[in-house]
Chain A
Amino acid sequence: AQSVTQLDSQVPVFEEAPVELRCNYSSSVSVYLFWYVQYPNQGLQLLLKYLSGSTLVESINGFEAEFNKSQTSFHLRKPSVHISDTAEYFCAVSYSGAGSYQLTFGKGTKLSVIP
């Protein structure tokens, strides 16, 4: 069965400091990778995704993630966080083949930005 591991359940970080949220997935031939963000009392919003091509993908608000096939990772990074980045972040994967529409999520990482 497919699985996604987000090792850090909570990450506190000071404002303007860099942050990395880690995500590892179980190996498969072909994967599609997603990061979703969930602000309090809101639904999941797509932050960025990797489908193919360049292994480095970026979001409009300064986040980036790099697909590393050899390490089966898709870590999320931001060089300088803002208070408004406080939210819960979910890594998700879908796989090619039958049932590929199913998203498998990690347990989430709560990012707390400290002023």
Chain B
Amino acid sequence: GAGVSQSPRYKVAKRGQDVALRCDPISGHVSLFWYQQALGQGPEFLTYFQNEAQLDKSGLPSDRFFAERPEGSVSTLKIQRTQQEDSAVYLCASSFAGTSGRQTQYFGPGTRLLVL
């Protein structure tokens, strides 16, 4: 079946521009995660949704970052007034159910954001 998809795959933004990154999780997956992967680093947790509810946004680096999942399926990560330090790969992952750490997270290909 189809995996997690993300769009766009690449985004170049001028500093100060707003961007929106889209994630389509695997159909039927309740949980959705966003991670940020800086160059040469491992992914770092940003936020977590269970259905449409954002249960954890503790990893969002500033109030310029905003995520939503209004219908419990597709999610959008929005970054306002982008800064150079926002340049990274943004990864979306989904899992079948629940909040257990036992659940396997399935990752999308990521969106590579470059802020000039």
Contact = CB atoms under 8 A, between A and B. Distances in A.
Mutual binders A and B: yes
Interface of A: 4, 6, 9, 32, 34, 36, 41-46, 49, 51, 90, 92, 94-96, 99-108
B18 interface: no
B1 interface: no
29 contacts: A6-B42, A9-B40, A36-B107, A43-B3, A43-B4, A43-B107, A43-B110, A44-B43, A45-B107, A46-B105, A90-B43, A99-B56, A101-B31, A101-B33, A101-B48, A101-B56, A101-B98, A101-B100, A101-B103, A102-B56, A102-B59, A103-B43, A103-B101, A103-B105, A105-B42, A105-B44, A107-B42, A108-B41, A108-B42
Contacts of A41: 109
Interface size class of B (residues with CB under 8 A): 20 to 34
